[in-house]
Every structure is written in structure tokens, then in C-alpha cells.
Amino acid sequence: MLVGMMQQTILVPNFCTTNSNVLLPPYHDIPKSICSTLDWHGYSISFYQDNDAIVTVVLTGIHENNWISVGVSRDGMMVGSSAVVGWMNNDGKSGTVKQYFLSGRMTSEEGIPDRGDLKFTNVTPTIVLKDKIIYMGFQLQFPQRLNRQPFLFACGLGKPAENNILPKHKYRSSLAVDFSRGAIYLGFVDSTSVKLTHGILAITGWGIIIPFGVPIARYFRQYEPLWYYLHSSVQFVGFFVGLAAVAVGRTLYDLIHADFNYHRVLGFTILALSVLQICQFIVRPSSSSKTQGYWNKIHHWVGRLVIVLAPVNIFLGLYKGNGARGLMITFLCFFFTFLFISIYLEIRLLLQKKREPNTKLTEPPLFQVPPRNS
């Protein structure tokens, strides 16, 4: 590949197939590394992960008197990520490698030096310039082996000032590294709208509508059979909204190759429990059946488990996904309002039962509707 720079023609080697001895071990001749060219800028990047969850990264490309960086992202976006940034010093022989926290989109005030969540190993990061080719290598220690992980690439003309604030980037891109398959997926992905849709649907379905249907069944049984039809209708609407959230979440996972395993597993668990509730509704026994007592207990406790796990997973998704502040505030307001109302209604129900000595303190069976004709 020929790239023009400063009225010169520089032949850029294929860094993914050319072993370079410019860098000292462990940054050269890495066995079984995953490599890809970022050829629209004349850069190549390679990754290697060992059994101890140590990831070695080497970024190589044409030096244009600029800074270069590799970031580790939660969701493929720059905001909230941590990055390793390197540049050559004014002497042209030594270089600097620093960690930055990206609190914004790499504008001059939003890349905070010497901050971030990345943990370096004992191997010193390095940056070398030779024959107008720049090489940067570093090692990161992760808590566990990575499966699929979003990374970021960015570079910009100029060098940081004395306060180490970065000039604005000139090029940027995101890439997802699939360590299990040995593949790199290139391309900048703006997942903001998909993330927002997933969050709104999940909060609306699992976090608002389904919990709202629970007090109807527990505290308004005197309006029979209205409570039953209202309760089941609300829960069906909440289920289908939540199902849409799962579908959008699956699309988001494929889009950004996120590795939020706990959030995904918990989400599918909630979905499975909700499907079980639907199946219980379809095959519910009649009020005269001997199995109705067992059916009621299963339905009651599965429902409780859903409304406990749902907000936990919503909070987890908002945290791991760097969720919008507005979504977090909205859900917190509803969560505490629902909690307050539930406590109030529960106290009122207990006081009412105390005033009525003939009333049993146990809950009446769920769904006492007229028996269906066999």
C-alpha cells in the first residue's frame, strides 16, 4: 500500500504478516496473535490473550507527528472508556505512553490523563519510532479471559501540551475482537439509539407495567372478577413489551459485540420465568380442582421472583451499558414510588385483617374465577 505524506511516498509494510524486531519481547513475534489492518490510515493492530487473561496489544503505523491510542470500551463507544495513548517526545527518540479516561468524545477537555480503569502488567508499555513507522505496545490484565471485547482506535495531529491534554482526534474507529474465534470486526458503531430503545422497553415492560399488575391481584380482590381480567391484561401487555426489549437487546449484542454475560443470563432467566407464567395462565386448573393450591403457590412465587429480578437486571444494564442519566432517574423515581405504595397497601391490608377477626391472614387463592365448562 502506498501512502503519501509530506510530498513523500512511503511504502507501508503489511504489519500483520511481517514480524518486526523493533520492539523487545513480549511485543514482537507474538504467537497466535489476532491482527487486522486499519488500512485507511496505514495502521495495523494485533492482540494476543494468554491463559492468565493478559492481553498484549501492538499498534503500528505511519508516524505523522501525532498521538495514537487504543481504548477499551464497554459498548463500542468512546464516552466512559479508558484508553492507552502514546506519542513521541520533542527529541524524536523517546516517547510517552499514558492512560486516559474518556469522559467525552475526545474533545480537548474530556480526555483526563492518568485516569482510567485499565490495569497494566509489570511489563512496561513502550513506543518506538523507526524509519517513519511508529510502534506502540502494552499489556493489560483483565479479571477474567475475554470472549468478545470492543476496542477503540483513535489518532490526532499534534502532541499534548504541558498539562497532557490531548488535541482533538483526526481519525477514530471501533473494533470488536472475538478472542474465541480469532477474528476482528472493524467499523465504528453508533449504538446510542438502539441502547436507548432497549432501555426504554425494558424499563417500561419489566420495570413498570409488570410490577404495576401485582398490586391489582393482591389488594383489589373485592372487585371480582374485574381484578382478574385487569391483572391478566396488564401482565400480558408487560410481557410483550419486555419481549420486545429482549429482541432489541439481542440486536444490540450482535451490533456492538458486548460481553455483558450476567446481564444477558439474567435477562433470559426473567424471560423464561415470564413464559412459565403465561403457560400457567393457559393451563390453569378450575377452582374446584385439587391441584389449584399448588398452582397458586407456583404462580405466586414465580411472579415474585420476576419482579425482584427485573429491577436488579435493569440497574445492572444501566450501569454496565453506561445508560442515559434520564433513564436512570426515571426508573429510580418509579421504583421508589412503587415501593412506597406497596408498603402502604400492605400495611392497610394487614390492619384491615386485624379489624376483621373472621378473615384469614393467609392470602386467598389466586384467580378464583367461575370454573370453566369441561
Partner residues linked to 95 by β-bridges:
88
Strands (E), the chain: 2-5, 8-11, 34-38, 43-49, 54-62, 66-72, 81-88, 95-102, 111-113, 126-130, 133-141, 148-157, 171-178, 183-186
Q: Are 119 and 140 in contact (CB under 8 A)?
A: yes
The Cα 13–Cα 2 span in angstroms is 9
pLDDT of residue 190: 60
Q: What is the DSSP letter of 322?
A: T
Cell numbers linked to 56: 498484549
Tens-of-pLDDT digits for all 374 residues of the chain?
A: 333 333 333 344 555 655 567 888 888 777 678 888 875 567 889 999 998 999 999 998 888 878 999 999 877 777 788 999 999 988 878 899 999 998 765 444 467 888 889 999 999 999 999 888 899 999 999 999 998 888 998 888 888 877 888 888 777 888 888 888 888 887 655 667 788 889 899 999 988 899 888 888 878 877 878 888 888 888 899 999 999 999 998 888 776 656 677 888 899 999 999 888 888 777 776 666 777 777 778 888 888 899 889 989 998 888 776 666 778 888 888 888 888 888 888 888 888 777 775 554 444 444 444 444 54
* Domains and their CATH numbers in the chain: 15-186 (2.60.40.1210), 191-349 (1.20.120.1770)
pLDDT of residue 5: 35
Cell numbers linked to 175: 473494533
